[in-house]
Chain A
């Protein structure tokens, strides 16, 4: 029984992380009917931002050296969390603006600049323009200046090309296209991460004090598990407030109901979709940061792939586009994985997610909390 509850707590902790990622998936699916494959990689970027903030950017103190540093470190960790959320939210907006919006509205002339920067990134790496922060602030800034310069030049050079192309592009509303674009963005983030962050696995040491609490009957709950649960809960409550009680949230719900009608009612759909991506990215960034800082997993450029897919499965189980469903699906997924991982079938723990998925899709094709919409002819 003790082990059962122990695994249950671990499962809920894992599940709340899945739920955070799944929320981003489900919101994007709700407004755009798009499987945002790149979302798992945003989570990866969140973990890397946590890593860099903890090891280079912010003055964290060693806890063992100075017991008074603990409080300071906790404050800094909250700053890292906010930073990670902010940057991942921005990344989400950038992805939407430059990969998914042209898919909906066609390429615009300003898209040239994004592609300029994207293309000059490998060039900058090829000629070793980037330097680590540890090489000295001057060289670091100089490298970034070079990159920006090349990016701007390439962007202006691309303007006529983009113009030429955009006049000849026929928009197609195919779902497969959107999916392949999302996969392309995901590949770009993974391989770009490979270049930017390096292929070596990184590891964040203990930054905030950790303590084991014993609760009823010898069950141990770790302070970082508790922190993950509490922070996820707070974020979910904030999200609930945003979606249910603000104008933007109302607009989001309207778009997920019917995007054309929402447009006609004067809702700036592009802006609301951007906000959706920002919120989703911020949640994924928070999840990635908490995984890196609190559970000390190894961070590699590919580590967002599997949690991303599982979180997506969680979103589908709950019913895509359904926010409470995503949380429920995430918890189910986490608990199932914790129990399978703790049993003698532990090597099957990656398969359980998909087995649950297939069963639930067959029994309730619209997900656990999703509504079955009758198709009108």
Chain B
């Protein structure tokens, strides 16, 4: 009972705190810094969700921008194409008021997450047959196919992209609220998965798939679940990003984005949620900080990347975590995570 109360209080505090913060920050902050902050948030969601697939379950997916794109385009398609079709019949879907905006955004989120999750299911299925590098190439190929399809489907703008998406999350300055709500959701989800019994099966698939199989872990189910959850979160990031930018084009979801997200996970230490968060922040902020170098900045960036990989191959954090207090009752010491 006490734990339940604590949880409710924690959730309430999170909501109110985020709301206050977003109201405060949006008025006070320089728009440039605000943009960078939002981008950090979006990429944290992407990195943490890819970490579920790559770091915790030990699969090798490097096509995360594909799911990001599916979410963004399906979400945008709801607010731009499908919602105007049905709004005549269901007038409560009318946008413009606060609750109408929130309702529409929630529908867009649900649709985006479901479709991205379905895409994740489709991509996760080959992971039953493919391992390691082969799976990596298949996921990269999937992302590239999505990219080319988006370039060619005229109803979503083709190469011009989709512009004039209603900015549902910026009305009432809620952009920061929504995006960081999902940041928190993805982090808490990862933490809960890692600390639960179910999560131990995921980690066991990472450590040794054959042994896990032999011990009775349903590796198929674990891998596909990881793919579905990870891609659904990426889809949510896509919906939010599309409604923040109000204009998306396929170029946002090109192979470079996939590679950037993979780099975040590896740089932070695959398997470490803290690492993913920090690396996502660093990799978004660093190119901005290096802007004074003008043309040289990407050279320095790539050199730093190589040096980092050579000098600290396990990533910034390895598999360690910071700030994951175990609020619940004490867990047995024999936790399966390898340090």
- Select which of A174, A191, A347 is within 8 A of B302 by beta carbon: A191
Chain A residues in 8 Å Cβ range of B301: 187, 191
The residue of chain A having its C-beta at the shortest distance from the C-beta of B143 within the complex is A354
A187 touches B313 (CB 8 A): no
If over half of A's interface residues share one DSSP class (helix, strand or loop), that class is named, otherwise mixed; here it is: helix
- Provide 6 A-B residue pairs closer than 8 Å at the C-beta atoms, listed in order of the A residue: A122-B300, A183-B259, A184-B303, A350-B144, A354-B148, A358-B142
The answer to whether residues A361 and B137 also contact, given A102-B310, A177-B313 and a CB cut-off of 8 A, is yes
User: Per-residue 0/1 for B131-144: is the Cβ within 8 Å of any A Cβ (1 yes, 0 no)?
Assistant: 01110111011101
Interface residues of A in 161-199 (CB under 8 A from B): 165, 169-172, 174-177, 179-181, 183-185, 187-188, 191-192, 194-195
- Select which of A29, A99, A313 is within 8 A of B141 by beta carbon: A313
A188 touches B299 (CB 8 A): yes
Stretch at the interface among A113-121, A146-154, A202-210, A278-286: A113-121
Closest Cβ of chain B to A299, distance in Å, is: 19
A181 touches B298 (CB 8 A): no
Q: Does A335 contact B (CB under 8 A)?
A: no
- Select which of B133, B138, B299 is within 8 A of A33 by beta carbon: B133
**Once bound together, how far apart are the Cα atoms of A99 and B308, in whole Å?**
11
B296 touches A361 (CB 8 A): no
B210 touches A180 (CB 8 A): no
Q: Does B295 contact A (CB under 8 A)?
A: yes
Chain A residues in 8 Å Cβ range of B305: 180, 183-184, 187
Closest Cβ of chain B to A102, distance in Å, is: 5
Q: Does A307 contact B (CB under 8 A)?
A: no
**Once bound together, how far apart are the Cα atoms of A179 and B149, in whole Å?**
26
The count of chain A contact residues (Cβ–Cβ below 8 Å) is: 54
Q: Does A348 contact B (CB under 8 A)?
A: yes
A354 touches B141 (CB 8 A): yes
Chain B residues in 8 Å Cβ range of A313: 137, 141
The answer to whether residues A176 and B270 also contact, given A316-B134, A358-B141, A365-B134 and a CB cut-off of 8 A, is yes
A195 touches B60 (CB 8 A): no
Given A194-B295, A195-B299, A355-B141, 17 other A-B residues pairs in contact with their CB atoms under 8 A: A35-B137, A125-B295, A169-B312, A170-B314, A172-B314, A175-B60, A175-B132, A179-B262, A179-B266, A183-B262, A187-B301, A194-B298, A309-B140, A312-B137, A351-B149, A358-B145, A361-B134
Q: Does B307 contact A (CB under 8 A)?
A: yes
A357 touches B141 (CB 8 A): yes
**Once bound together, how far apart are the Cα atoms of A365 and B138, in whole Å?**
10
Closest Cβ of chain B to A203, distance in Å, is: 22
Chain A residues in 8 Å Cβ range of B302: 184-185, 187-188, 191
**Once bound together, how far apart are the Cα atoms of A287 and B303, in whole Å?**
27
B311 touches A351 (CB 8 A): no
Chain B residues in 8 Å Cβ range of A258: none
Q: Does A215 contact B (CB under 8 A)?
A: no
Q: Does A377 contact B (CB under 8 A)?
A: yes
Closest Cβ of chain A to B141, distance in Å, is: 4
Task: Count how many pairs of residues, one from A and one from B, have CB atoms less than 8 Å apart in the complex.
Answer: 144
A103 touches B309 (CB 8 A): yes
- Select which of B129, B134, B306 is within 8 A of A181 by beta carbon: B306
B309 touches A184 (CB 8 A): yes
Q: Does A78 contact B (CB under 8 A)?
A: no
By a beta-carbon cutoff of 8 Å, the part of chain B in contact with chain A is: 54, 60, 62, 126, 129-130, 132-134, 136-138, 140-142, 144-145, 148-149, 151-152, 210, 214, 255, 259, 262-263, 265-267, 270, 293, 295-296, 298-303, 305-307, 309-314
The answer to whether residues A118 and B60 also contact, given A169-B312, A181-B310 and a CB cut-off of 8 A, is no
The residue of chain A having its C-beta at the shortest distance from the C-beta of B265 within the complex is A176
Q: Does A30 contact B (CB under 8 A)?
A: no
Chain B residues in 8 Å Cβ range of A357: 137-138, 141
Chain B residues in 8 Å Cβ range of A121: 299
**Once bound together, how far apart are the Cα atoms of A137 and B129, in whole Å?**
59
B313 touches A122 (CB 8 A): no
Closest Cβ of chain B to A343, distance in Å, is: 14
- Select which of A29, A99, A176, A195 is within 8 A of B54 by beta carbon: A176
Q: Does A65 contact B (CB under 8 A)?
A: no
Chain A residues in 8 Å Cβ range of B140: 309, 354
**Once bound together, how far apart are the Cα atoms of A42 and B180, in whole Å?**
41
**Once bound together, how far apart are the Cα atoms of A29 and B302, in whole Å?**
23
Chain B residues in 8 Å Cβ range of A350: 144, 148
Chain A residues in 8 Å Cβ range of B141: 313, 353-355, 357-358
